[in-house]
């Protein structure tokens, strides 16, 4: 199969779809790989590394897209829509529930679109989302602590506190991978941490992980209201695989938070769980609403591309190899991969995406 890897063009997105080591694996299996010039540079991989692995370097995104399969990191942006074609297999993060225009463009193209974030096991695990969720969860607290500093417009609270002064308070909405990793970081800094989740089973699992170091609360409107109003840092970590994130924090509730507290909404790539939230970028990551700083960057792991690219490709490569070997037939042999199919032949096939955009079905 002919595989293309275009350079990511989302704001300060330095990850790349394949590493040189992954290219070598594919070439060894008789596949042809075209890498757009300098696509891996931000992650520490030079064109010469790809050439040594057996890839061809192409100058333009158009050349990278003119293949049987395109392997990316983030969703195509509007300038790339015209490069999509009906015989293309697109394998990348898509997060369609948060992007109607992209969904319409993919439908018009006729491409087969497989989303990393909805590849799902029978037990509900998301193997291609998990490594980036780990990174995003850990970074969410690092960025939150940074923006709590007075110089960044925050309230001036140190999450870890010191003897004689209270620790910062962190409320984490959702106890999945993002929430768990955010809690690890916040506990490590010495913060007082609460995790809210709607699954009693998950809360029991978190008790085994954290013991008494984290307060575990069943998520209700009342418990959310109390936790958020008392928090210096709120982490939005809810996830509905393939679907739009529910709004858990109203504008009114944000207004009850302490002045210059911080919200980091990791769920923003699926529409966000904060009513006052909106998508930001690494270039302009924060804004103030209701007296609270909001961080809404949808590609948080792009800040650490050396680590995140390798973690991502470690997870995606077996699936890339399967598709390269069998084409779309690979999905009929692997129900985990089949869950990743969002759009095929101009039709939405993922139920959560269809639920979000019923008029496009």
Q: Over the stretch 171-219, which tens digit does the pLDDT of each residue have?
A: 999 999 999 999 999 999 999 999 999 999 999 999 999 999 999 999 9
- Return the pLDDT at 189: 98
pLDDT per residue over 318-349, tens digit each? 999 999 999 999 999 999 999 999 999 999 99
- Pair 320, 265 in one domain: no
- Pair 291, 344 in one domain: no
Residue written as token pair 């790339």: 80
Residue 142's pLDDT band, with cuts at 50, 70 and 90, is: very high
Percent residues over pLDDT 90 in the chain: 98
Provide the 3-class DSSP secondary structure of residue 333.
helix
Sequence-distant (6+) residues with CB within 8 A of 214 are 183, 187, 193, 194, 195, 206
Domain ends where: 284, 302, 320? 302
Lowest mean pLDDT among 69-78, 215-224, 236-245, 317-326: 236-245
* pTM score, whole prediction: 0.95
- Pair 140, 242 in one domain: yes
Instruction: Answer yes or no: is 126 within a domain.
Output: no
- Return the pLDDT at 361: 78
What residues are paired with 196 via a beta bridge? 173, 217
Domain ends where: 278, 302, 326? 302
- Return the pLDDT at 25: 99
3-state secondary structure 272-285: CCECCCCCCCCCCC
**Nearest alpha carbon to residue 194 among 211, 169, 177:** 169
- Pair 338, 233 in one domain: no
Instruction: Answer yes or no: is 124 within a domain.
Output: no
Residue 136's pLDDT band, with cuts at 50, 70 and 90, is: very high
- Pair 206, 114 in one domain: no
CA atoms of 80 and 4, how far apart (whole Å): 14
- Pair 249, 268 in one domain: yes
Annotated binding site: 15, 74, 133, 197, 202, 219, 238-239, 266-269, 278
265 carries an active-site annotation: no
Instruction: Answer yes or no: is 320 within a domain.
Output: yes
CA atoms of 89 and 111, how far apart (whole Å): 6
Whether 4 has a pLDDT exceeding 90, the answer reads yes
Domain ends where: 302, 317, 346? 302
31 carries an active-site annotation: no
- Residues 78-95: what's their mean pLDDT? 98
Determine which one of 95, 260, 294, 350 is catalytic.
95
What residues are paired with 214 via a beta bridge? 193
- Pair 317, 178 in one domain: no
Instruction: Answer yes or no: is 172 within a domain.
Output: yes
- Pair 205, 314 in one domain: no
Q: How far is CA 202 from the centre of its chain?
A: 21
Q: What's 42's domain CATH number?
A: 3.40.50.720
* Cα atoms in the 13 Å half-sphere on the side-chain side of 299: 26
Instruction: Answer yes or no: is 356 within a domain.
Output: yes
Residue 232's pLDDT band, with cuts at 50, 70 and 90, is: very high
- Return the pLDDT at 157: 98
Tell me what the pLDDT averaged over the chain comes to.
97
- Pair 325, 229 in one domain: no
**Nearest alpha carbon to residue 349 among 212, 276, 201, 242:** 242
- Return the pLDDT at 241: 86
Instruction: Answer yes or no: is 11 within a domain.
Output: yes
- Pair 210, 138 in one domain: yes
Parent domain of 320: 2-119+304-360
53's tokens: 């692995």
Percent residues over pLDDT 70 in the chain: 100
Instruction: Answer yes or no: is 26 within a domain.
Output: yes
The DSSP annotation for 4-50 comes to: EEPPP-STT----S--HHHHHHHHHTT-EEEEETTTTGGGT--HHHH
Does residue 68 contact residue 1 with C-beta atoms inside 8 Å?
Answer: yes
Number of domains within the chain: 2
Annotated binding site for NAD(+): 133, 197, 202, 219, 238-239, 266-269, 278
Whether 105 has a pLDDT exceeding 90, the answer reads yes
Whether 360 has a pLDDT exceeding 90, the answer reads yes
pLDDT per residue over 241-296, tens digit each? 888 999 999 999 999 999 999 999 999 999 999 999 999 999 999 999 999 999 99
- Pair 139, 269 in one domain: yes
Determine which one of 49, 232, 269, 350 is catalytic.
269
Annotated binding site for substrate: 15, 74
- Pair 16, 75 in one domain: yes
Whether 308 has a pLDDT exceeding 90, the answer reads yes
Instruction: Answer yes or no: is 49 within a domain.
Output: yes
């Amino acid at each position: 199969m002919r595989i293309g890897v275009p350079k990511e063009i989302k704001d300060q997105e330095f990850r790349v779809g394949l590493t040189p080591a992954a290219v070598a694996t594919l070439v060894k299996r008789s596949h042809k790989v075209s890498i757009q010039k300098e696509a891996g540079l931000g992650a520490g991989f030079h064109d010469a590394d790809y050439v040594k692995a057996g890839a061809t370097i192409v100058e333009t995104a158009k050349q990278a897209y003119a293949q049987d399969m395109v392997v990316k990191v983030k969703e195509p942006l509007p300038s790339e829509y015209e490069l999509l074609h009906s015989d293309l297999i697109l394998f990348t993060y898509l997060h369609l529930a948060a992007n109607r225009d992209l969904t319409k463009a993919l439908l018009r193209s006729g491409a087969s679109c497989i989303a990393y974030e909805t590849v799902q096991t029978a037990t509900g695990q998301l193997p291609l989302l998990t490594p980036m969720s780990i990174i995003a969860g850990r970074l969410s607290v690092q960025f939150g602590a940074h923006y709590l500093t007075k110089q960044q417009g925050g309230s001036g609270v140190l999450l870890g506190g010191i003897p004689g002064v209270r620790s910062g308070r962190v409320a984490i909405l959702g106890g999945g991978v993002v929430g768990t990793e955010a809690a690890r970081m916040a506990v490590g800094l010495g913060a007082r941490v609460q995790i809210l989740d709607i699954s009693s089973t998950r809360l029991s699992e978190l008790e085994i992980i954290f013991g008494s170091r984290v307060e575990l609360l069943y998520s209700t409107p009342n418990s959310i209201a109390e936790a958020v109003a008392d928090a210096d840092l709120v982490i939005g970590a809810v996830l509905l695989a393939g679907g739009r994130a529910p709004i858990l924090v109203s504008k009114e509730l944000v207004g009850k938070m302490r002045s210059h507290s911080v919200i980091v909404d990791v769920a923003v790539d699926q529409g966000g769980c904060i009513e006052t939230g909106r998508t930001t970028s690494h270039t302009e990551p924060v804004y103030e609403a209701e007296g609270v700083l909001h961080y809404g960057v949808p590609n948080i792991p792009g800040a650490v591309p050396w680590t995140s690219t390798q973690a991502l490709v470690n997870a995606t490569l077996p699936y890339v190899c399967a598709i390269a070997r069998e084409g779309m037939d690979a999905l009929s042999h692997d129900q985990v991969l089949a869950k990743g199919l969002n759009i095929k032949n101009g039709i939405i096939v993922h139920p959560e995406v269809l639920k979000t955009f019923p008029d496009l079905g």
